[in-house]
Amino acid sequence: MPTLNQKEKLKKVKQPDVKIPIPVKQKRLVSGIKPTGQLTLGNYIGALKQFVKLQDEMENTELFIFIADLHAITTPIDKQELKKNIRSIAAIYLACGLDPDKVNLFIQSEVNEHAVLGYVMESTAYIGEMERMTQYKDKKQKQTEGIRTSLMTYPALMAADILMYDANIVPIGDDQKQHLELTRDLAIRFNNTYGETFVVPEGFFPETGARIMSLTDPTKKMDKSNENPKSYILLLDDLAAVRNKIKSAVTDSDAIIKYDVKKKPGISNLLTIYSSLTNETIKEVEKKYKGKSYSAFKADLAEIVADSLRPIQQMYFEYINNPRLDEILDQGAERAKLIASRKIEKVFKRMGMGRVR
Ligand code: ATP
Ligand code: LTN
C-alpha cells in the first residue's frame, strides 16, 4: 500500500507539458564532415568555403554544422587520432570563418539522438538500398576483412543527421548526391507510413569545385584517406610543402592551359582550384594564361593557395588550445539537443513506441 506521501509523489510526477518555445527561423541548413583525417584543400573548396559563403548570404536560415564522429568509426580509426581530429576540425571550421553567432557548431556524438534516429532510419531503409550505394561499394573493396556493418548502414545515419533538424538545404560535394537522394526517399517513405514528420531536403552543390581531384592522379578525388601525401594538400600543411605539391602536380604534355576534364584532367583540376580560390571564372583564368607555360601558371597558383591557407592556419592556432572553442561546441550541442530530443519524441510517438502520453 503506498503511503499518503508516496501517493502525493506519484501525483507530482504528472507535470503539465510546459515547453520552452524554439525560436523558429524559416529555413535550416545541415552539413557535416567526418573526422577521419586532417582536412584537405578539397574539403575546404567543396565544403568549408561553401558553408561560410552560405552563412553570410542566406537570410532567415539557421545553420547546423557538425563533426560527424559517429561516421568516423565505420572504418577502423585510432582512438587518439580520432580525438585529435575532432578538435582540430572544430578549430579549422572556425578558422575558415564560421561564425558561432550564426552557426550551431557541434560534435555529433554529443547529441545522442543522432544514433537513435539513425536506428529508426535503418528500420525505414531496405538492405538493397544500402548495398547499392557506390561509396559503400568502393570502400568495401578497399578493405579485405573486418568490414563493419555500419559501413553499409551509414547512409541511414546520414539521413538521420539531416532529417533530425528538418533541414531544407544540405550543402555537399557531388560524391554525396546518392546519399541525399536516399535521405529524400526515406523521408517520403516515413511520412507516407506514419504521417508528415520530416521535411524532404534539397541538396546544394557548389558551382565550381564540387570535386577537387588528387594532384598525383587527377582522375580520382582528392582524399584525406589517400596513402600518398603528395596527392592532397592539407589545410595545415607547411606552406613550403604546399607550394611544392602544386608545382609537382601531374599535368599533360601539350602545355596548353585549357579546361577539358576528359583530355586534360590535371590542368583542369588546377584551373578549378585557381578559380575557386580567386572567384575568377575558369574562362577568365584561361584567358589570363593564354600562351603562358604550365610552370608559370603553377607558380602563381602555388602562391594563391599559400595565401589562402596562411590566414586559416593563423586563426587555427588561435583556437586550438583556447577554452572558447569548448564554449562554442557546448553552445552548439545544447541547441542541437533541444531540437533533436523533441524530434525523437515526435518520431517515437508517430511510430507507437514507448508509452502513450
Ligand atoms: P573520407 O575520405 O574519409 O571519405 P571525405 O573527405 O570524402 O572523407 P568528408 O570529410 O566527410 O569526406 O567530406 C566533407 C565534405 O567535403 C563533403 O561535403 C565532401 O563532399 C567534401 N569533399 C571531400 N573531398 C572533396 C573534394 N576532393 N572535392 C570537393 N569536395 C570534397
Ligand atoms: N557522409 C558525409 C558526411 C556527413 C554529412 C551528414 C554531410 C555525415 N552526415 C549530413 C551532410 C549532411 C561525407 O562522407 N562527406
Looking at the predicted structure, is the pLDDT value of residue 1 above 50? no
Residue 193 region by backbone torsions, left for phi larger than 0, else alpha for psi between -120 and 50, else beta: alpha
pLDDT value of position 204? 87
Task: Identify the active-site residue in 224, 245, 264, 298.
Answer: 224
For the question of residue 221 being annotated catalytic, the response is yes
Average pLDDT over the chain reads 91
CATH for the stretch 229-315: 1.10.240.10
Q: What pLDDT digit, counting tens, does each position of 86-101 carry?
A: 999 999 999 999 999 9
List every span in the chain annotated with CATH 1.10.240.10.
229-315
Looking at the predicted structure, is the pLDDT value of residue 189 above 70? yes
Between 29 and 173, residue with greater pLDDT: 29
Looking at the predicted structure, is the pLDDT value of residue 29 above 70? yes
Relative to the CA of 224, which ligand 1 atom is closest?
A: 2
Q: Which residue matches cell numbers 514528420?
A: 197
Residue with the smallest CA separation from ligand 2 atom 4 is 32
- Dihedral Cα 146, 149, 155, 156, nearest 10 deg: -160
Q: From the CB of 74, is ligand 2 less than 6 Å away?
A: no
Choosing from 154, 158, 163 the residue with most ligand 2 atoms within 8 A of its CB, the one to mutate for a pocket test is 158
Burial of 24 (0-12, 13-18, 19+ CB in 10 A): exposed
Q: What is the CATH T-level fold of the domain 16-210+321-351, as seen in this structure? A: Rossmann fold (3.40.50)
Q: Distance between the two ends of the chain, CA-based, in angstroms?
A: 26
Whose atoms come closest to the Cα of 210: which ligand?
1
122 vs 116, 131, 139, 230, CA distance in Å?
Answer: 10, 13, 20, 38
For the question of residue 224 being annotated catalytic, the response is yes
List every span in the chain annotated with CATH 3.40.50.620.
16-210+321-351
Among 200, 199, 202, smallest CA distance to 339 is for: 199
For the question of residue 79 being annotated catalytic, the response is no
Among 337, 321, 222, smallest CA distance to 269 is for: 222
How much of the chain exceeds pLDDT 90, in percent?
82
Q: Which of 111-115, 192-196, 255-259 has the lowest mean pLDDT?
A: 255-259
CA distance 324 to 1: 54
231 vs 24, 82, 221, 244, 334, CA distance in Å?
Answer: 44, 22, 9, 12, 38
CA distance 116 to 73: 16
Looking at the predicted structure, is the pLDDT value of residue 334 above 80? yes
The confidence band for 5, taking pLDDT boundaries of 50, 70 and 90, is low
Regarding pTM above 0.85, the answer is yes
CB atoms within 10 A of CB 132: 13
